[in-house]
Structure 1
């Protein structure tokens, strides 16, 4: 659940982060507070020792001690610890002449130099912080001590007082975090609900109003996917419609010719004529299917993913050689001429060959029988010219539309050849223009 849920991962991550932050803050607070408390109490001990060091030693006769603090005032003595502060005064020989009546009487004389030392006292295993200081006359030594446990307890009390409320607030913070994360992720839930409610064929984009900027890239990507899916579905519907429209007539003609063959009986002439028409119909249907499949594959390509460097001269010669037998059968001569040398092109040589072949096939099909087709290399690309009748201005404006054929055409065709030419040119960033030659005939020009 945690691995698959973004909400759970965020809650756990932020919860652990808050707990880790609290722990780090506690350690730092403890260290800083303990350091400041030690500095404060060291100062207090030193000041107290200095005050004791100016006591007149002449007033000290024999060993003496103050009354125990807890017995000084039996009532209303307040909160007081025995180890908060203790002192003792020794002679240079180590004889105790005065103590505080509490823990000071257990001090062990171990004076070596003025300053702070850590030591133990009688009847206790707890370490003490003791400052030693010689008196002003040099005859006595003052010891003022404080138990380390007292300092640590004081530091812990201060730190816990400050951090305990934050520890108590952690569950509240976690609850608020869960609520805020839930609200922050609510746009994703709304988008998921809208996606779940969509129909399979629905391609409308999702609204992007009032959405966080972090969610917008995801929604924009989804909308882009819907647009591409919609375009693909439209192409598929158009392909199905085009195929049904264009194949209806050839298939009907094939059916008629097949019926003629069946009804011809012993009339060989009628049967052979029907079989010839049947073959022509099959060839036309096959050509329509091939052209439709090529156009469908081209429509589904958004870019060239297998580009290579293509030399126009070599590609034109290769394509002309491939189509030359078909041209010779039609009695059409194909000539390659040069008016310039175009720059090499980055593209798909197979698709470019299909484009050139369709232009040559169009020129051979609609040019004069026994005529001539010229392929001319130019600085920017090439052009294909035939010596046919050309097309009128109205038809010229629609040349290249799918399934459009100028009226009055007697040659068979699907009206897809020049559409394929334009689609391949678009994929390669080329521009195709159609027009009539001044001396007569049709011209198709491809420029980079």
Structure 2
């Protein structure tokens, strides 16, 4: 349930309940006061009639409104004067004071007053009419409260909205934070109630930042420290192979496997360094206008010997497409995409690189005629060290599972999207893989 709606309903319910109790109390108090006022009115009427000189043998009938009725009787009970709506029989009690009687089809409040000379003055007032008049008085005071509830609801809604503005700002800042952004929240002048939440969130972000930083530092330092001993082992292995060739001795199979393992380990260490080097939140990117088509041609030229050794055909399509990007990171992205294509495409296969600008974006698409990738695996391949089929991939190509993770990091750095699909170069046995990287023309930094 919405906090705003909950507060609105709760406050309106509270106001309505308090007003109802206050109105009920006011109604009772008003009715009591109205009764006293009406009683004083008929008492005054009785005193006025008592002051009139009345000495008649026949009763005088006076036209009166429907609200009141009266009788004036002599000491011996003779009717001297009455209103036209009063009966001829005595009304009220014999004793002086107030009482209630029924006559003429209504309930009446009767006041009996004993005047000088033994005369009896009896003034009656209809109970239903006096209650109706009292209800109208009370209703006039209650109606503004009822009509004011919608206005109060609107004002409460606006005031609560204003009070929740800081909460909406906090929610907006959290919603727009990127996954890798662990910087503290910068909520301006948060209210006292939100301070514990902001402080707790910032403390959590700080702990996460420190934890990720330790992980990155450890991986980067470990990879960096491993480069030197791996290079030394590689040199010794190459020296041993050269020495065996110089003595016309056959190199054992174990030496060849050792050299392949050293190359694989060196590749793994280099990829780990590249992965942590291009982390979007820490990479010191230098954005400049870059012709992605021309860069792709240069990288293809650099890597062409690897394609030629495997008898693969590589083709560059498209046209010039200018984006703002970091040169080192984009070269690394192209190298990883082309190395993957070369590695997983069988000998004699085909690789096509397409770069073009369309509908406000620049599309880089690398397709191969390799074994492709199952649709259910296409999300997981961006995870670090994940390989489809593990080390038992059907292509038997060595790898460490970091290439597409590096591509994904570099795409995030350029606010680009990476998608995987089936290649148009494939066939039923080898559906191939198409990797598309969609760059925006403008990168907000």
Higher Rg = 1
TM superposition score normalised by structure 2: 0.48
